[in-house]
Amino acid sequence: MERIYIENDNARITPGEGILLNVEMYDGRKFENLEARRLFPITGLMKYITLLDDEGVEQAVIRDIQSLMEDSRKAVLASLDEYYLVPKILKIYEAYEKYGLLKMRVLTDRGEYSYDVKSRNADIKHLVDGRVLIKDSSDNRYEIEDYYKLDKDSRKLFNSYM
C-alpha cells in the first residue's frame, strides 16, 4: 500500500469526537475517526505524525505540522496535546525509597501528585537538553522541562535518589 503524505494544503483536517480527527484529501478521499500519534515522540514533536484508524492501521502521515493550513494545524495540535498529556514537574516536595520503590510527591502544572517509580534506571530518562522524563508505576508520564531550573531543594531531593 502506498503511504499517503499530508502536507501544505493537500488535505483539510477537522476535529472529530474526543481526540479523533477527520481528514478530507483534496483529491476526494476521506478518512474519519483517526488517531494522531508522533512517530518520534521525544525528538520530533512537530514532524512525522501518523494517523491511525480504529484498528491501528496507518492511513496517512503528516510530514510537518507547521506546513498545514491554520485550522488543520490547530486540530492536530489539540488532538496531540490531549493524547500526550504529560504534566510538567515544577517542584519536588518529597522523594524517598520504600520497599524498593522511589516514592515522590511533586507539584506539576496540573496540580500536586504522588506516585511511585519502580526502576530508576529504566523509568527515569535524563536527556541532553536538561529535560527529565519519568514514568510512574501506573505508566503515567511526567516531565521536568529543565532540571537546572528546578529550585535548589527539589534538585537536592532528586539527586539523593538518582
12 and 57, same domain (yes or no): yes
Specify the range with the lowest mean pLDDT, choosing from 30-34, 66-70, 139-143.
Answer: 139-143
38 and 96, same domain (yes or no): no
Helix (H), strand (E) at residue 160: helix 152-160
129 and 79, same domain (yes or no): no
49 and 96, same domain (yes or no): no
pLDDT confidence of residue 1: 62
58 and 44, same domain (yes or no): yes
| For range 134-161, the mean pLDDT | 92
76 and 14, same domain (yes or no): yes
Phi, psi dihedral angles at 3 (to 5 degrees): -75, 135
pLDDT (tens digit per residue) in 95-147: 999 999 999 999 999 999 999 999 988 999 998 888 999 999 988 899 999 99
54 and 99, same domain (yes or no): no
| For range 18-33, the mean pLDDT | 95
H helices within 40-123, ranges in order? 70-83, 120-123
66 and 94, same domain (yes or no): no
42 and 102, same domain (yes or no): no
Distance, CA of 60 to chain centre: 20
Strands (E), 26-88: 30-38, 47-52, 58-64
Asked if pLDDT for residue 31 goes beyond 90, the answer is yes
pLDDT (tens digit per residue) in 46-62: 999 999 999 999 999 99
Q: What is the DSSP letter of 4?
A: P
78 and 96, same domain (yes or no): no
Sign of CA dihedral 91, 94, 96, 102: negative
Q: What is the DSSP letter of 10?
A: S
pLDDT tier at 34, thresholds 50, 70, 90:
very high
Asked if pLDDT for residue 2 goes beyond 90, the answer is no
- Which of 83, 111, 136 lies at the terminal end of a domain, its last residue? 83
pLDDT (tens digit per residue) in 130-140: 899 999 998 88
Mean pLDDT over all residues of the chain? 93
- Which of 83, 118, 143 lies at the terminal end of a domain, its last residue? 83
- C-alpha–C-alpha distance, residues 83 and 67, integer Å: 21
Number of domains in the chain: 2
Structural domain boundaries, residue 47: 5-83
Asked if pLDDT for residue 160 goes beyond 90, the answer is no
67 and 94, same domain (yes or no): no
75 and 93, same domain (yes or no): no
pLDDT tier at 45, thresholds 50, 70, 90:
confident
- Which of 83, 118, 139 lies at the terminal end of a domain, its last residue? 83
| For range 148-155, the mean pLDDT | 95
